[in-house]
Structure 1
Amino acid sequence: MANGTKKKGTSVKGLKAARNSVVSQRGVPWGTIVAVVAVVALAAAVITYYMVQSAPKRAAAAWAPTADNPDPSLKIPGIVTTQYKGSVHILPTERVAYDKTPPYGGPHDGYWAACNGIVYPKAVRTENMVHALEHGAVWIAYNPAQVTGDGLDKLKKRVEGKQYTMMSPYPGLDKPISLQSWGHQLKVDNADDQRIDEFITALRTNQNTYPEVGASCDALGAGMFDPDNPPAFDPAPPGPDAKPMNYQGSTGTQQDMGNGVTATPATPTSR
């Protein structure tokens, strides 16, 4: 009995010692730690990608106009609205003394800027851009000195190939980004702002908010408005001959007839 008890005690002590020795030899499990960190980083990247890519869909669910809520944009923090009369046209040689910067309504050129998912690399004449808003487009303007690189790419993805959307630099803009639709404007500080998608969803071709429902956004072409060679933006302040916001329209301009049809002017115009 005594010998048996002694052997049992020795055996238990030996097992504990061996186990402690193995544990002490294991060290820090760096491989496991690195693997866990990698998995967490991957998960974070996937979540971030999902949030960015799904933003338009999530905005569509909450900000799409309905019969009960014809203009959801009115609930977007920071949005500004103004009532403007539509179909007041000027000649390509004339300017408007707009009351907002960038403008989002008022008298405008008889030729609209192409707004069929186009990103203009250079600033475009304002009077043409405003006409496109009258057709239900959303115009993303940005300060080229403040929005570059990844931020610029994020804005382009919201525009390229998407009908009734256009984008252009706007030198001297007082905020990095400004969004316009007819009678509506929202200015934001960066391209990650969720209000950008909310604005686009609520107002692009929202038939409750713009004058010419069904009007075209396609390019008119050379001699009218050529998106490959659009009329340039004029940074100079409008002169004393600029048309006021209550202007009633110039003789001989293109006149919209509805559904995107534009009548030929009674007298030729010159550019």
Structure 2
Amino acid sequence: MKAARGSVVSKKGTPWGTIIAVVAIVALAASVIIYYMVQSAPKREQADREAAAASFAPSAQDPDPSKRIPGVVTATYTGSVHVLPTERVAYDKTPPFGGPHDQTWATCTGTVYPNAVRTENMVHALEHGAVWIAYNPQQITGDALNLLSVRAKGKPYTMMSPYPGLDKPISLQSWGHQLKLDDANDPRIDEFIAALRSNPNGVYPEVGASCDAVPGQFDPDNPPPFDPSKPGPDAKPMDYKGSTAAQGENGMPAPSAPASSSAPAAPTTTK
């Protein structure tokens, strides 16, 4: 009897199959958790940056907090001046942050454009309250590019694109405001965005205007390309009054003011 019982116990052995299965499940769960932590880290870090910049959110008492950000340059521009898709504007700044622009705005719903986009469309989006993150593709790559992208991707009233020949690694634009920077870690990036994106206090002309894609007029997956050449003698000047054949907002007729009418004074720039 003892021998029989001993032989039965010895036959049970170690449940290696169960142990291996449990170890595999634990390892899989650990890998999923690690993957999630790694993938979500940029978003969590961005949430921390945005929280740190929250004091730059606009209010009735502080309508334009960007005035407190060192390095921000401002200028005054007239809105709602449209040109045709075939026309160019001789902008006074690089990148521009106001002035005449294409009749159709660039999609600015958290869009990260992999290639440079026609400037005249990008400027129109600024008129709607968007922030444009431009960068020099020769200077911003790898981790720095990813760090900029997380500021824009999926964020309403935000867009990002390379800007060949940019004189600084990074340039932020909103209507009438610009900030040029060297480092993608600079906290002023988040302060600028907090202060000016969709600011409701009249810092851009068309409060409440859409940033959505305009079907049949602007395709964010195939936008009109950036033209690196210098605008020719037929380019529209900064004091231009608008092309009579250009459409207004949402396809409505443009204002009928003639192109030859008297112009306002040239924009003034302050620091």
Q: TM-score, normalised by structure 2?
A: 0.76
* Inter-partner Cα distance in structure 2 for 1:122 and 1:51: 26
2:116 aligned partner = 123
2:191 aligned partner = 198
Amino acid at match of 2:106: A
Amino acid at match of 2:138: A
CA contact (8 A) 1:97 1:244 kept: yes
* Inter-partner Cα distance in structure 2 for 1:51 and 1:190: 16
Q: Deviations over 1:62-104 (max 9, x none)?
A: 1001111100001100000000000000000000000000000
User: Is 1:238 aligned to 2:231, yes or no?
Assistant: yes
1:56 aligned partner = 50
2:129 aligned partner = 136
Amino acid at match of 2:215: G
1:211 aligned partner = 205
Q: Deviations over 1:189-224 (max 9, x none)?
A: 0110000000000000002210001100000023x1
2:252 aligned partner = 263
2:19 aligned partner = none
CA shift in 2, pair 1:249/1:50, >3 Å: closer
* Inter-partner Cα distance in structure 1 for 2:245 and 2:103: 10
User: Is 1:220 aligned to 2:209, yes or no?
Assistant: no
* Inter-partner Cα distance in structure 2 for 1:160 and 1:132: 16
* Inter-partner Cα distance in structure 2 for 1:251 and 1:227: 26
1:77 aligned partner = 70
Amino acid at match of 1:218: D
Amino acid at match of 1:204: R
* Inter-partner Cα distance in structure 2 for 1:132 and 1:52: 24
User: Is 1:162 aligned to 2:148, yes or no?
Assistant: no
Q: Report the CA distance between 1:265 and its aligned residue.
A: 6.5
Question: Who wins on radius of gyration, i.e. which is larger?
Answer: 1
CA contact (8 A) 1:221 1:227 kept: no
1:98 aligned partner = 91
Q: Report the CA distance between 1:179 and its aligned residue.
A: 0.1
Q: TM-score, normalised by structure 1?
A: 0.76
Alignment RMSD (CA, Å): 1.7
Extract unaligned runs of 5+ from structure 2: 1-41, 256-271
CA shift in 2, pair 1:186/1:95, >3 Å: same
2:180 aligned partner = 187
CA contact (8 A) 2:128 2:209 kept: yes
State the number of aligned residues: 213
* Inter-partner Cα distance in structure 2 for 1:156 and 1:87: 29
Aligned-pair identity (%): 69
